[in-house]
Chain A
């Protein structure tokens, strides 16, 4: 039977309701960094929101990238494990190397309007089967052993299949 190798994307939204310390660090530090970096694209101080800058200033979409520097230290503290997404045993099981940081909204004068997202892209998974609402997956390896340890998990909000490849 042909099998599928999938990559999952978890889009972790962080806004003013963030409570855990890691989320709050991301929230506060990305806001501070945005306030600093946005001044390059807002030299006359005409704009007070991220949306206005993106709409009016060519090249300002680089701010997503520039502000991402403020969260790199926190990403490294995750040790390559995607947070929040659990298998049916209640364990984090997804690993990542790739991410994409996004600023969703921000107002330089009101931190509570600040909202960001980190997209975590999982390492490739082999999709063995679907059982009820659950997917049975295991980390994809070039060489498959006779017995493979698997994870059973349910697709939850803000988790999606990012990429898929058929293998025979």
Chain B
């Protein structure tokens, strides 16, 4: 703003301010208790500054809502080959029988190998719609089963394709944190998807992966069936001490 205009704006302000200043004064010399008529000035309880109080319909009335993780379809518009993930939870302390009521979180990367995340740098903000793509939470049914719909994960440097899993009991106490690996070799889903646009050049296979390489018996590798056109289905059984 130009200086001239700024000064002019101050002068306009000077004409209109006395009323507001009076309204804000704690001690009134003339003994009058009325504040300047026509001002909306009252002190709000939130910050103690002399500003107007809310004068509109209250609302919207909030209702209790679960975390946005709680959903079965976690695709959020991400494109890729459809993947249905079925994880069955068993209880080691009960002969690996189905564990009902367990909370299961999963998360994995998109076709390009990126996770949903923001907020790394201080000023970064994000749109409040669909920021938690490819992250989901379900509670196991009577058969200990949860089902998620998403896309076949891509890969990123240094890691074999994987899905993260975190299992909690009903109270939210962590029972197990693990990752699910994918079968490899000709004809597998991994080979069919072929790393999406990246290809498989530079891919880290399970035996070289820093998480899965110690899994000599393949206990962390899921069963994956299906095709590119029909989509894939992943089945995995996970036993926890509950």
B119 / chain A contacts, CB cutoff of 8 Å: 61-62, 64-65, 68, 100-101
Within 8 A of B (CB), among A40-59: 40, 43
Given the interface pairs A131-B12, A132-B17, the reply to whether A91 lies near B64 with Cβ below 8 Å is no
B64 CB contact (under 8 Å) in A25, A64, A65, A130: A25
Whether a CB of chain A sits under 8 angstroms from the CB of B177 is: yes
Look across to chain B and name the residue whose beta carbon is closest to the beta carbon of A20. B62
Minimum C-beta distance from B168 to chain A (A)? 6
What's the Cα separation between A25 and B42 when bound, in Å?
Answer: 28
Given the interface pairs A1-B2, A22-B62, the reply to whether A75 lies near B128 with Cβ below 8 Å is yes
**Interface secondary structure of B, over-half rule:** loop
What's the Cα separation between A68 and B118 when bound, in Å?
Answer: 10
A162 / chain B contacts, CB cutoff of 8 Å: 123
Given the interface pairs A29-B67, A72-B132, the reply to whether A90 lies near B117 with Cβ below 8 Å is no
What's the Cα separation between A91 and B57 when bound, in Å?
Answer: 9
Do B66 and A73 touch (CB < 8 A)?
yes
Whether a CB of chain A sits under 8 angstroms from the CB of B202 is: no
Total contacting residues, chain A, CB less than 8 A: 55
Do A98 and B68 touch (CB < 8 A)?
no
Look across to chain B and name the residue whose beta carbon is closest to the beta carbon of A157. B47
Proximity bits, B166-203, A CB within 8 Å = 1, else 0: 10100011100100000000000000000000000000
Whether a CB of chain B sits under 8 angstroms from the CB of A168 is: no
Do A88 and B52 touch (CB < 8 A)?
yes
B62 CB contact (under 8 Å) in A40, A77, A100: A77
Do B13 and A90 touch (CB < 8 A)?
no
B67 CB contact (under 8 Å) in A72, A79, A91: A72
Whether a CB of chain A sits under 8 angstroms from the CB of B69 is: yes
Whether a CB of chain A sits under 8 angstroms from the CB of B34 is: no
Look across to chain B and name the residue whose beta carbon is closest to the beta carbon of A4. B1
Whether a CB of chain B sits under 8 angstroms from the CB of A144 is: no
The 4 A-B pairs with the shortest beta carbon distances in the complex, nearest first, are: A132-B13, A73-B65, A90-B55, A39-B174
Chain B interface (Cβ < 8 Å from any Cβ of A)? 1-2, 5-6, 9-10, 12-14, 16-17, 20, 40, 46-49, 51-56, 60-69, 103, 117-120, 123-129, 131-132, 135, 166, 168, 172-174, 177
Contacts beyond the supplied A25-B62, A90-B56: 13 A-B pairs with Cβ under 8 Å: A39-B168, A68-B119, A69-B69, A77-B62, A86-B54, A97-B129, A98-B125, A99-B126, A99-B128, A130-B1, A130-B9, A132-B9, A132-B17
